[in-house]
Amino acid sequence: GGSAMAAVRDVEIDPEGTFKYILVRLQRPGGGEQRDIVRGTKAAEFHNHIFEKVNPEMEKLGYECKCLGGGKIEHNSKDKKIRVFGLSTGYGKADHSVTAEILKKEYTDYEITWSDDKK
């Protein structure tokens, strides 16, 4: 059933600061259910570092992962604002509008904006 997929959090990002993020599509092998998740952290120097951490975790749960692209997130928890922008050199630019919608589900009382600006 969808219980394992439901157990995967939509969003895991650092609580503060500006950092790289990726948009990842999870899918059951052979099609079926799929969903997109957002992962970002200051600990990652490159976008692929995030994917290399997420991928084995999701494979253990029986999902195939595909990175849909990346960018940066600026998370200001004091003012409750998140800005999504930039791109990943390796993966290309994620669809930031999709990322913003996913973030809105988790950060319901935030002002969330996105743009294709580089900085």
List residues bridging with 87 in a β-sheet. none
Contact between 31 and 72 (Cβ < 8 Å): no
Q: Tokens 């959090």, residue?
A: 9
Distance (Å, rounded) from C-alpha 22 to C-alpha 44? 11
**DSSP secondary structure letters along 88-115:** BTTTBB--HHHHHHHHHHH-TTSEEEE-
Tokens of 45: 């120097």
Q: Among all residues, which ones are annotated catalytic?
A: 47
Please check if 105 is assigned to a binding site.
no
Q: Which residues are annotated as part of the binding site for substrate?
A: 20
Q: Which residues are annotated as part of the binding site?
A: 20
